[in-house]
Structure 1
Amino acid sequence: MGKFSNGIFGNFYGKVGNVVGSNWRGIDYLRSLPRMTKNRVASQGQMEQQAKFGLITAFLSSLRPFIEVGYKKLAVKQTAYNVAVADNVKNAISGNYPDYTIDAAALSFSRGILPLPLDPAVVAAAERHVSFSWTDNSKKGKALDTDKVSVLLVNQVDEESEYSLGTVTRADAALDIAVPAGWVGKEVDCYLFVASANGKEVSNTFYGGKITIVE
């Protein structure tokens, strides 16, 4: 793939022969069409990578708003979603091909240097609520009391999730989130991260473990 700008005939878009001109995120590119090979068989490595990619993209597809905040700073000339997919394909897959599974403890929904709140914890509460708590550690490093806290609950059995995106601050030190009635008696995985009020800084993801939802 070649990058160009202001060629002798200006920027070129479309197809001529086996060359395609296009623009992505403000950058003009020239690329050749892929060479088609009849009866092409994927290698073992390609099949393994495709299986991992499919597993992670299916899991993350409904969490784009959450990921857009958590991976925004790393989205340089690519989308936050694509960065998150690559990160989790590399780090959050367990098992051997073709029996891959997602390692809940290794999943990442954010990546950055902003300090997490002190002593984050999560417990199941009555009436299908999940209670997150933490200690306000404002002024530690870049941590501020105005930092926005986001939490995520994942029900892998039903392939469902619930999240709260920046509705409380580091100074609030607590957040309750309700879950659907169908989750009662089931285990969910719990996650938390923090982003600065202007969205420029973000923490890594805290994994709070599994809890069982109660009535």
Structure 2
Amino acid sequence: MGNLNNGLFGAFNGRVGNLVGYTLHGKNVIRMIGHTTKSPTLPKLANYQKMTVVNEFLVRMQDFIKLGFQHEVIGTDRNTYNEALSYNKKHALTGEYPNISIDYPKAMLSKGSLRPADQPGISKPDSRLGIEFKWEMPEKMLTGHRNDRAMLLIYFPESKTSYSSLSGARRHEGTDTLYIDGNLYGAQMEAYITFISPGGEEISDSVYAGSIAKEIEKPEPEKEILKKTENTENDRNQAVKPHQARHKAPASPGYCAQITQPLNLFQHSIPKNLSGPPS
């Protein structure tokens, strides 16, 4: 049901028949709900998959995108999420339907005029407490930009989750650590870095900081496998010995030996001179 906000000829919110009315950035919008019985064409199927793939990638990082694309939508009726979706759908996909996927090095999570990160990279510290980001500090960097803050993000493709820091170390420090869930430490990860001015007036394009592959479980050493095999054999032998003892135990007082053949009580004939009981 639609609601008339300003009388019969005013804008309405809600659905009336196949029309939907709503307000977007102060503008009244009416759209028609389409309906078709035709099977979708291959280009449509490809477009559906592109939208799905990009949405799955961006939906878990909306706080990052809200800052990253804020300057791109100023003075327009677009929003930051749709702006990021539009850019990455056009520039950050690879493959053909039905095997379309994100091209992570080409993905963009922020856009702006500030100087981007120089030669960023990531690594896993031995402490396994987080992921370390590093970048270079240009020699001729203006003093005002030395205090730009790093925005860090790591995306986990398998679980489709992300961890981020929206105000990290200063640019001149050259390093920062992003702490993540320990259960994800061995998963595949894709990393991005952006710089934002201390007051948020300027922001840089995001830069792909690198990828860390999923850890593969190492096979057990050969000695450990042989040891486990020997232990299994010993356990099996110990389980068999009591069963064998029941059949090999020697006769002893009070022990009733098993009769293997029936006793024939008539195997000896009665003497012929024994004709009756003794007198």
**TM-score calculated relative to the size of structure 1:** 0.81
- CA 1:28–1:134 in 2, change beyond 3 Å: closer, same or farther? same
Structure 2 stretches lacking a partner, 5+ long: 1-5, 216-279
Report the Cα offset of residue 101 of structure 1.
1.5
1:65 matched residue in structure 2: 63
Which protein has the bigger strand share?
A: 1
Q: Secondary structure at the match of 2:212?
A: strand
For 1:164-183, list aligned pairs within 5 A.
164-183=165-184
2:124 matched residue in structure 1: 124
1:55 matched residue in structure 2: 53
- CA 1:155–1:21 in 2, change beyond 3 Å: closer, same or farther? closer
CA distance in 1, matches of 2:156, 2:22: 40
1:211 matched residue in structure 2: 212
2:154 matched residue in structure 1: 153
Which protein has the bigger helix share?
A: 2
2:38 matched residue in structure 1: 40
CA distance in 2, matches of 1:45, 1:93: 15
Q: Secondary structure at the match of 1:167?
A: coil
Identity, in percent, stands at 23
Does the CA-based 8 Å contact 1:153-1:190 persist in structure 2? yes
Report the Cα offset of residue 8 of structure 1.
11
Q: Secondary structure at the match of 1:131?
A: strand
Q: Could you say which structure has the greater relative contact order, defined with CA pairs below 8 angstroms and 6 or more residues apart?
A: 1
CA distance in 2, matches of 1:35, 1:211: 44
Report the Cα offset of residue 193 of structure 1.
0.6
- CA 1:142–1:64 in 2, change beyond 3 Å: closer, same or farther? farther
1:78 matched residue in structure 2: 78
Does the CA-based 8 Å contact 1:115-1:140 persist in structure 2? no
Letter in 2 for 1:60: L
CA distance in 2, matches of 1:95, 1:101: 6
CA distance in 2, matches of 1:177, 1:22: 40
Letter in 2 for 1:33: M
Does the CA-based 8 Å contact 2:121-2:210 persist in structure 1? no
CA distance in 1, matches of 2:18, 2:156: 46
RMSD: 2.9
Report the Cα offset of residue 63 of structure 1.
0.6
1:94 matched residue in structure 2: 94
- CA 1:138–1:99 in 2, change beyond 3 Å: closer, same or farther? same
CA distance in 2, matches of 1:99, 1:35: 27
- CA 1:175–1:32 in 2, change beyond 3 Å: closer, same or farther? closer
CA distance in 2, matches of 1:72, 1:119: 25
Does the CA-based 8 Å contact 2:93-2:100 persist in structure 1? yes
Report the Cα offset of residue 120 of structure 1.
2.5
Does the CA-based 8 Å contact 2:194-2:203 persist in structure 1? yes
Q: Secondary structure at the match of 1:162?
A: strand
2:258 matched residue in structure 1: none
Q: Secondary structure at the match of 1:125?
A: coil
Letter in 1 for 2:78: Q
Letter in 1 for 2:111: R
Report the Cα offset of residue 185 of structure 1.
3.2
Letter in 2 for 1:150: M
Report the Cα offset of residue 130 of structure 1.
1.3
